[in-house]
Structure 1
Amino acid sequence: MNANTQCFAYIHGLNSDKNSRSCKEIHTLLGSVHDFYYDYTQNALLALAEIENKLSDVHKNNPNLKLIGSSLGGFFALYLARKYQLSCTVFNPVTFPSEQLAPFKGKNYNFYTNREWNLTDEILQSYTRLPLSTDMKLMPAIVLGLNDETVSPTVTIHFWKHHAKILLTTEEHSITNYQKYLSLLKK
């Protein structure tokens, strides 16, 4: 692969995985996309380490790696984009997981496998050890659905205002058509 060729990696959200409609649609639109699947049922530092292992393997051979994330995957994409100075586009990202995911505490199910698990206080609090920062070398692109019923777009707008390219849409939390954002993904 040419060092100038753009390479993509997708990080899914909570209760999702590589079988998600979003992941499949992004693969269809962009061709080869690395899937940074991780176990979100564990503490944040372990989940981050899992994603980071995959990222380091891909990034060393693909210096133009671009991260794409949705929801909790958007949080991880933003965190890692800052750390590795990577470009990223995220959709309805979680900004403060310990707070914004608190309503989901307790019994949860993977949307695709129906695997049951518990989101505990311990898992939620582990995210406080991974604060996001707006001090990034490359300005992220953030797509926010104003009708998001899961993650408040207001919190994200307030935190990232003047530090990200924010595109407001009428979408809900689940993006229905990534084709509309193809040019943004490839930018």
Structure 2
Amino acid sequence: MLLYIHGFNSSPLSDKGVITADFMAKYYPEVTFCQPQLPSNIQDAMVLLEHIIQQAKMKGEALHYIGSSLGGYLASYLAETYGGQAVLINPAVNPSELFEELTGAQYNPYTHETYQIKPEHKSQLIEYNTAVILHPERFFVLLQTGDEVLDYKLAVQKYYCCQLLVQPGGDHSFIGYENQLRSICDFLQFDH
């Protein structure tokens, strides 16, 4: 199974989400591809993701993740906790700190949902922090230095022991993401 985990205020309809779904359908149709719309509440999102993982494990499927931004933060926790391999795209390292600035009303342009970020959401996020990567062989981390939302250097520090691709320039969306899908699938060990 490949579980694609989108970022904050995003959706499977994001550019990366659509590109990944199309690529998997074309080149790896035999791989179960799961790309849920995550609830805005972090605990509800993790309940959904953990349910999907448990279902895959019951079917005997290997676990693979692609996580973008906040999805990368969650994918780190899932890979460390449940096993499997994770590809992280410009992952958030300390999103609970960013949530302080985001407290209040939020709007998801993909789902048109309006919701509130409350102070308790910060502590909920901290529950899923992987302060130290214990299984670096499980991770392939793609970063662009031009990320205008997150400081890529924090991810370099956290994932220094993992397979890293650091590209100069770019932005938070990871420009040229579609060009990385072959190497992503190679890392995830999908058969050609």
- What TM-score bracket applies, with the shorter chain setting the length? 0.7 to 0.9
- Looking at structure 2, the residues matched to 103 and 145 of structure 1 have their Cα atoms a distance apart, in angstroms, of 23
The code of the aligned residue for 1:134 comes to I
Root-mean-square deviation over aligned CA pairs: 1.8
Query: Counterpart of 1:71?
Result: 69
Aligned partners of 1:167 and 1:56: how far apart in 2? Answer: 30
Is 2:34 the partner of 1:34? yes
Contact 1:37 1:51 survives alignment (8 Å): no
Instruction: Report the equivalent of 1:3.
Output: none
TM-score of the superposed pair, with normalisation by structure 1: 0.86
Runs of 4+ in 1 over 6 A off after TM superposition: none
Which residue of the partner structure matches residue 125 of structure 1?
A: 123
Partner of 1:181: 180
Structure 2 unaligned blocks of 5 or more: 188-192
* Distance in structure 2 (CA, Å) of the matches to 1:174 and 1:49: 26
1:156 & 1:105 partners in 2: Cα distance? 23
Counterpart residue identity of residue 106, structure 1: G
Q: TM-score, normalised by structure 2?
A: 0.84
* Identical-residue share of aligned pairs (%): 23
Contact in 2 for aligned 1:94/1:100 (Cα 8 Å) = no
C-alpha contact 2:73 2:129 (8 A) present in aligned 1:
no
The change in CA–CA distance for 1:113 and 1:79 in structure 2 (over 3 A counts) is same
Shift of 1:100: 3.2
- Matched AA of 1:153: Y
The unaligned stretches of length 5 or more in structure 1 are 1-6
Counterparts in 2 of 1:36-115, with a 5 A limit?
36-39=36-39, 41-42=40-41, 44-115=42-113
Report SS of the residue matched to 2:8: coil
Alpha-carbon offset, residue 161 of structure 1: 1.3
Match of 1:22 among 4, 16, 26: 16
- Residues 124-173 of structure 1: CA distance to partner in whole angstroms, max 9, x if unpaired? 221122221300263300111111111111111112212x1111122211
- Once residues 59 and 168 of structure 1 are traced to their aligned partners in structure 2, the CA distance between those partners, rounded to angstroms, is 32
Amino acid at match of 1:35: Q
Deviation at 1:63, TM superposition (A): 2.7
The alpha-carbon deviation at position 62 of structure 1 amounts to 4.8
Number of matched residues?
Answer: 178
Per mean C-alpha deviation after superposition, the further-off stretch among 74-83 and 136-145 is: 136-145
Secondary structure of residue in 2 paired with 1:138: helix
| C-alpha contact 2:74 2:128 (8 A) present in aligned 1 | no
Amino acid at match of 2:2: F
SS at structure 2 position matched to 1:118: strand
Q: Does the C-alpha gap of structure 1 residues 101 and 146 become closer, same or farther in structure 2, counting only changes over 3 Å?
A: farther
**Which letter does structure 2 place at the counterpart of 1:58?**
A
